[in-house]
Structure 1
Amino acid sequence: MTLSEAELRAAITREFPGVRADLERLVRIPGIAFDGFDHTHVDRSAEAVAELLRGCGLDTRIVRSGGQPAVIGSRPAPPGAPTVLLYAHHDVQPVGDLFLWESDPFEPVERDGRLYGRGAADDKAGIMAHVAALRAFGDALPVGVVLFIEGEEEYGSDSLERLLEEHRDELAADVIVIADSGNWDIGVPALTTSLRGIVNCFVEVRTAEHAVHSGMFGGLVPDALTVLVKLLATLHDDDGTVVVEGLVSPGGAVVDYPEDRLRAEASVLDGVSFVGTGRLTERLWTKPALSILGVDAPRTSEAPNALVPSAKAKLSLRLAPGDEPKSAYAAVKAHLEKHVPWGAQVEVTFEHDGEPCVIDATGPMFDAARDAFRTAWDGVSPVDIGVGGSIPFIATFQEMFPGAAILVTGVEDPHSLAHGPNESLHLGEFARVCLAETLLLRNVANAATS
């Protein structure tokens, strides 16, 4: 029996209060997979997710492969129907400075139609969108489903590739829905079709065996901080464009990002200009970006009048779609070794990387998704967007399941503040996401038999 749009809308309306209540229960679990945190909470989070999937009638188990626990739940497809893999993650980012939060990050609170709490948007709402769709269909689910809910995405998905290899057969699907991105705006849905990759590394410079008196030797002996500053300044030109030779920089984004909206969403101070050249979305989505994330050096309040003998910085390179992490790291390393001033010693060390990806968002399954989004947002067509951030495992899914259509969706909006203080979820948009995923599963079933 195929449920009508009206029946599915009514089902989501019926199920939404319970979906929200279960989301709030998940938000209360501080499942942080980073080193130094209590990982029993990650275990609790996995158990809570497993309970939710079992409640939907899925054959469910918790799995791991040297890392944090993931949850796999499945229900076989009706005869002749396709199988859809639904991905989300149950771990969350650390909360950072608690004084910047307006409420307890692990006690969900509604303010002005938004639900505040760490993980409320990224990505526990993604889990609950999957659960909402399953609950809406009940026993009338028209497709087979496999839910894969990861437990260490925020920490880098170190064990994900092993998990996918070990469970490849049971995770195989015709369509993969990755609910870990966002929408273009409140009231405007989106499909993510490209993401930048990432290379993080450290650069350390040394000029002396130990600190020496800044008056006795200053003006002759270079201090390491000055060397580091000059070296880092060579990474960009005066416009702020990355000038490391060998990086891919195709550009080509076609969506316009209004400057006033971008400035507000990025909280850019008055008078501060954007860096780089080209369309704003090109600079955000399809060109490389190189940022200095931190510096190891004496604190100003503790610094003596001495020349610093060594200094270290952490760099993060976001790779344009089409680039390759290993060659990009080699290019950055070569640039730093070439441009270090005054003969200072320099050491560049690799931390981690992740592949960029481009998705060819054409074909019947993408049409099914766009139709579902258009219906859920009352006639507003979804926008194809790029994302400046990275979800490296999407490239892994592409490699392991080359025949699957990969739909990158999400619950976030430009005001969600994922990873930051006061992360929140727009509850009205969340209801639309739940309806859209329900309609998507129906549309995928119809597209497979048409």
Structure 2
Amino acid sequence: MSTPNDSSTTPAAQPSAAQQDGATLDALRDRLETLLPAAVDDLQDLVRIPSIAFPGYDREPVRRSAGAVADLLRGAGMAEVGIESVGDGAPAVIGRTPARPGRPTVLLYAHHDVQPTGDEADWSTPPFEPTQRGRRLYGRGAADDKAGIMAHVTALRLVGEELAADGIGVTVFVEGEEEAGSPTFRPFIEAHRDALEADLIIVADSANWAVGTPALTTSLRGLVDVVVEVRALDHAVHSGLFGGPVLDSLTQLSRLLATLHDENGEVAVPGLVRAEDPGVEMTETDFRRDAGVPEGLDLSGTGPLTARLWTRPALSVIGIDAPSVRDASNTLVPVSRAKVSLRIPPGEDPQSAMDALVAHLERHTPATAQVTVHRGEMGKPYSAHQDSPAMDLARSALGTAWSTAAVDTGLGGSIPFIADLLEVFPAAEVLVTGVEDPESRAHGVDESLHLDEFARVCLAEALLLRDAGTLRRGVQ
């Protein structure tokens, strides 16, 4: 007769659910480690393609970039991959592995076009030759948003077979003209509505709170812009012979632009909305470092930094047409133009904000000049449903991948197409995540990606995709 201590006859203890989850997570981390070198190599190949979709740039690299993305999606096991465009729009890539009946579909968004580089002489290394220094990979698009593409591809390499076995559908939509304002985005998603329809949409085009701390973007400012033209003369005239009775157009434009802010640097356009102040704050030291504010300069505006960045309007002059200093002659400049960009917080209507900005400029038109305001782009702000099963899954995945809780943040930048996604796919929920950090310098000189953050993003997305099967169809 055996005794209770006889291990030969005692049933083996079964691993707990927590132990099973831990073992699965460890296996996923190990597999990710083996996949990362190839993922970084593929990312570098994408960065080498100068896929600038702005007017006036060669479109061949954009087409080549789309082809490279399509090859990556095929290699990641997507069942259907195609390159599509609408009208004269830039090529976008759609990859699909359809869901089994009754199972949810997740749409993964990124974009393969990039910003222009500016003066390449300002870069520490050539912008389209990816260069690793320390744990950062430098190059145009290394963070925004070719790393977003590779996060999707790597997550599919990690858990694609598991998703297929579970019947979860995955669609990857990689746009080719986001940096150029997504001019054909709305007609594109309407034309491909059936292929792109999903229950959950993950937009990988945002930023994390800091290196080592993930973020889930829950609000985005919208955007309106105008071009202001000030004419003082029919033609240029000698500044010595005619200066005095006539103020040149550039001086008058400068005086008009100065009315847009008060003495504290607050936007002085009446009628604009302010949203509620955020519940989190950042330190001024961190902001100054990340923004590159020179020592000794005051910051503009009042109130919490996060409010100034996320939930209040911000207005900038982003370009001026006027003679360069090098080419200046002793003449009165007859006409000058400026492009004015206004970021608007959640809760603001873009049309109302545009009307308020135009009315302000027209109201301050000097008697000594003709002012014409040309209305430009409008994009809606975004505010997420912060309490939902999908948001809870995202916070859990981010917290697991970083081993620290995710921060719900706003973003001062704009992603206007999110409003289009929600209007065309009203049953879907949108999650906004990303690979950038405050030091990534997206759109700027020496753009870079922190490679450790990239690995965590890939793991978090794999975990979120793996658990998407727990969501009901129509996750809201």
Task: State whether TM-score is above 0.5.
Answer: yes
Residue matched to 2:418: 394
1:380-399 per-residue CA deviation (whole Å, 9 max, x = no partner) reads: 11111111111100111111
Q: Supply the distance in 2 between the matched residues of 1:104 and 1:212 (Cα, whole angstroms).
A: 43
Match of 2:432 among 399, 408, 429: 408
For 2:142 and 2:330, the matched residues in 1 are separated by 48
Is 2:171 the partner of 1:146? Answer: yes
1:8-407 alignment to 2 at 5 Å? 8-58=28-78, 59-66=80-87, 67-141=89-163, 142=166, 143-378=168-403, 380-407=404-431
Segments of 5+ residues of structure 2 without an aligned counterpart are 1-20
Q: Report deviation, 1:79.
A: 5.0
Once residues 288 and 38 of structure 1 are traced to their aligned partners in structure 2, the CA distance between those partners, rounded to angstroms, is 35
Larger radius of gyration: 2
Partner amino acid, structure 2, of 1:117: G
Q: Distance in 1 between matches of 2:129 and 2:180?
A: 22
Instruction: Please state how far the C-alpha of 1:257 moved relative to its aligned partner.
Output: 1.1
Where 2:326 maps in the other structure, the secondary structure is helix
TM-score, normalised to structure 2's length? 0.91
* Aligned AA (1:170): A
Q: Cα RMSD (Å) of the superposition?
A: 1.8
Q: How does 1:418-429 map to 2 (within 5 A)?
A: 418-429=442-453
Rounded Cα–Cα distance in structure 1 between residues aligned with 2:183 and 2:219: 22
Q: CA deviation at 1:217?
A: 3.2
1:342 aligns to what SS in structure 2?
coil
- Deviations 1:129-158, CA, capped at 9 Å, x for gaps: 111111112422142101000001111111
Q: Distance in 1 between matches of 2:51 and 2:326?
A: 35
Deviations for 1:331-360, whole angstroms, at most 9, x for unmatched residues? 111111111223421100022221111111
- Name the CA distance, whole Å, in 2 between partners of 1:347 and 1:154: 27
Moved more, 3-12 or 346-355: 3-12
Per the TM alignment, residue 448 of structure 1 is displaced from its structure 2 partner at its CA by 4.0
Give the letter for the 1:347 counterpart: T
Shift of 1:279: 0.7
Contact 1:230 1:341 in 2 (8 A): no
Q: Secondary structure of the equivalent of 1:365? A: helix
Structure 1: gaps (5+ residues): none
Distance in 2 (alpha carbons) for counterparts of 1:335 and 1:169: 44
Cα distance change on mapping 1:100 and 1:302 into 2, 3 Å = closer
Structure 2 SS opposite 1:146: strand
SS in 1 for 2:444: coil
8 Å CA contact 1:189–1:373 kept in 2: the answer is yes
In the alignment, the residues of structure 2 paired with residue 195 and residue 428 of structure 1 have an alpha-carbon distance, to the nearest angstrom, of 26
TM-score, normalisation: structure 1 = 0.96
Asked if structure 2 preserves the Cα contact closer than 8 Å seen for 1:242 and 1:288, the reply is yes
Determine if contact 1:366/1:405 at 8 Å carries over to the other structure: no
The alignment covers a number of residue pairs equal to 449
Deviation for aligned residue 1:212: 2.9
Tell me the CA shift for residue 428 of structure 1.
0.6
For residue 72 of structure 1, give the secondary structure of its aligned residue in structure 2.
Answer: strand
Of the structure 1 ranges 210-219 and 427-436, higher mean CA displacement relative to structure 2 is found in 210-219
CA contact (8 A) 2:162 2:466 kept: no
| Cα offsets for 1:175-198 (capped at 9, x unmatched) | 100000010000000000111111
- Measured against aligned partners, the alpha-carbon deviations of 1:368-427 in whole angstroms (never above 9, x if no partner) come to 11100111011x111111111111001111111122121100000111111111111101
